[in-house]
């Protein structure tokens, strides 16, 4: 599917994403499991260090790690917002350092997912092993405001040695040669075929269907979207599908019941179920306050949903108002409402043109493209 037999020996993945063992089986955070499955086409064996979150063993975000070529090493989960949590992180650093250092010794190729505590340790250890190849994937916003620990890791990454390469969301001014723009994968060849059929057959209707896919929290902007809908009265607004869960579930449910629009709360769904939502919708709305580049935008474009999204981080480098979607800038209730209202005036011809163009652009979010970039730009010399 992705090429010939593996060209490399082993890969070490260092992250704070979920890995755990239960009943003799290993599980991991779904999106990373899929990336690692794809990378098995390049590497004979992969060792994955992550955080042990037993509570997530069987939820919809975790997947079974089925390949015997993937070895998982769960670290004790640390993190939190209160002082006691912060102290526990510091106490766990010696243990995490020992395990991570031991595994780095065994591997030539190391992939670290930042910002995270394990990746922060690996940044320091990369200086100790100048002959090893380190690839840091920074998932947050590479420029602009960020929490203190995120900024600390960004600054440290910029100062690392030549044996490190950093991939980020988007392209930025004064970006050094060791910092590359890099898309995160979310689409298989099967998804592309499904998407092609969906886009070709998607009907333009007077009443448009919208979806929100993401965490129900302040950062993702679900409350902002619902506030914007309060004063929208337009017969072209057909319905809104809300997919996701989070700490604002009860607040969202209460606000939805107070609106006159047709809104369906789905809660958390499997990937296949989310794709079915995209297939029936015309637009995806994501008025986020902080992002890197959400995978859901690429997924939605593949299935014929036009993005109505915040103009933050690198999103504006992919989405252009009136050409590939609609940008919300600045991110507030007024501008979210304006962006929604612009979607009502999209003609059938324009709608078809945009979704066909976006389907082609979504190729950049495939696993095939991801592996090609790893070979070409990350680990160039097996």
Residues 233 and 370 in one domain: no
Residue 14: what pLDDT?
Answer: 98
Token code pair at residue 27: 């599980």
Helical axes 83-106 vs 117-126, angle rounded to 10°: 40
Residues 151 and 199 in one domain: no
Q: Residue 133 domain-assigned?
A: yes
Q: Residue 1 domain-assigned?
A: no
Query: Cα angle vertex 291, ends 287, 142, to 5°?
Result: 145
Q: For residue 336, is the peptide bond before it cis, meaning its omega torsion is within 30 degrees of 0? A: no
Q: Residue 36 domain-assigned?
A: yes
- Cα separation, 48 vs 11, in Å, equals 8
Residues 173 and 43 in one domain: yes
Average pLDDT over residues 139-166: 91
Residue 56: what pLDDT?
Answer: 54
Residue 133 forms beta bridges with which residues? 109
At 211, the pLDDT band (50, 70, 90 cuts) reads: very high
Residues 131 and 244 in one domain: no
Residues 260 and 178 in one domain: no
- Cα separation, 88 vs 100, in Å, equals 18
- Cα separation, 103 vs 376, in Å, equals 25
Give which of 295, 239, 238, 245 is closest to 266, Cα–Cα.
245
Residues 173 and 213 in one domain: no
Residues 291 and 197 in one domain: yes
Residue 1: what pLDDT?
Answer: 47
What's the CATH code of the domain at 218? 3.40.50.2000
Instruction: Count the domains in the chain.
Output: 2
Q: Residue 340 domain-assigned?
A: yes
Residues 179 and 40 in one domain: yes
At 382, the pLDDT band (50, 70, 90 cuts) reads: very low
Confidence check: pLDDT of 82 > 80: no
* Long-range pairs for 326-332: beta carbons < 8 A, 24 or more residues apart: 328/287, 331/221, 331/224, 331/287, 331/288, 331/289, 332/224
Handedness of CA 263, 264, 267, 270 (dihedral sign): negative
Residues 178 and 310 in one domain: no
Residue 330: what pLDDT?
Answer: 95
Question: 96 or 379: whose pLDDT is higher?
Answer: 96
Provide CB contacts within 8 A for 118, sequence distance 6+: 14, 15, 16, 49, 50, 51, 75, 96, 100, 112
Neighbours of 348 (CB within 10 A): 11
- Do 317 and 300 meet the contact criterion of CB atoms below 8 Å apart? no
Confidence check: pLDDT of 276 > 50: yes
Instruction: Give Dmax over CA atoms of the chain in angstroms.
Output: 63
Give 213-272 pLDDT, tens digit per residue. 999 999 899 999 999 999 898 889 999 999 999 999 999 999 999 999 999 999 989 889
The pTM of the full predicted model, rounded to 2 decimals, is 0.90
Q: Residue 3 domain-assigned?
A: no
Phi and psi, residue 31, nearest 5°: -60, -35
Q: Residue 30 domain-assigned?
A: yes
Question: 3-state DSSP call for residue 197?
Answer: helix
Residue 259: what pLDDT?
Answer: 94
Average pLDDT over residues 318-346: 96
Query: b/e map of 79-91 (b: 16 or more CB within 10 Å)?
Result: eeeeeeeeeeeee
Tell me the pLDDT of the chain averaged across its residues.
92
Residues 253 and 298 in one domain: yes
In terms of residue numbers, what domain contains 220?
Answer: 189-365
Provide CB contacts within 8 A for 271, sequence distance 6+: 30
């Amino acid at each position: 599917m992705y090429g010939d037999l593996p060209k490399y020996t082993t890969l070490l993945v260092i992250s704070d994403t979920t890995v755990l063992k239960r009943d003799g089986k290993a599980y991991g955070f779904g999106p990373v499991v899929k990336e690692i499955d794809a990378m098995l086409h390049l590497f004979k064996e992969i060792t994955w260090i992550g955080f042990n979150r037993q509570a997530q063993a069987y939820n919809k975000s975790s997947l079974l790690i089925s390949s015997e070529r993937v070895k998982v090493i769960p670290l004790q989960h640390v993190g939190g917002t209160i002082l006691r949590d912060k102290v526990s992180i510091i106490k766990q650093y010696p243990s995490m350092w020992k395990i991570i250092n031991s595994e780095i010794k065994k591997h030539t190729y190391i992939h670290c997912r930042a910002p995270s505590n394990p990746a922060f340790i690996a940044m320091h250890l990369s200086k100790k092993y100048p002959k090893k190849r380190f690839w840091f994937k920074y998932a947050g916003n590479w420029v602009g405001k960020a929490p203190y620990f995120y900024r600390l890791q960004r600054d440290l990454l910029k100062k690392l040695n030549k044996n490190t390469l950093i991939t980020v969301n988007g392209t930025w001014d004064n970006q050094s040669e060791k910092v590359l723009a890099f898309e995160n994968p979310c689409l298989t060849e099967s998804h592309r075929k499904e998407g092609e059929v969906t886009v070709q057959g998607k009907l333009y209707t007077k009443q448009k269907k919208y979806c929100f896919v993401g965490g129900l929290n302040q950062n993702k902007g679900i409350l902002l979207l619902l506030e914007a809908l309060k004063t929208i009265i337009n017969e072209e607004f057909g319905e809104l599908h809300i997919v996701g869960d989070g700490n604002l579930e009860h607040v969202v449910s209460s606000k939805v019941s107070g609106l006159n629009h047709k809104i369906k709360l789905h809660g958390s769904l499997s990937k296949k179920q989310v794709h079915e939502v995209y297939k029936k919708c015309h637009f995806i709305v994501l008025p986020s306050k902080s992002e890197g580049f959400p995978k859901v935008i690429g997924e939605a474009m593949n299935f014929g949903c036009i993005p109505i999204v915040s103009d933050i981080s690198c999103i504006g480098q992919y989405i252009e108002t009136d050409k590939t979607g609609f940008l919300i800038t600045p991110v507030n209730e007024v501008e979210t409402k304006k962006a929604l209202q612009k979607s009502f005036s999209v003609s059938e011809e324009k709608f078809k043109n945009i979704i066909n163009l976006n389907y082609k652009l979504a190729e950049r979010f495939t696993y095939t493209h991801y592996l090609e970039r790893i070979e070409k730009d990350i680990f160039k010399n097996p």
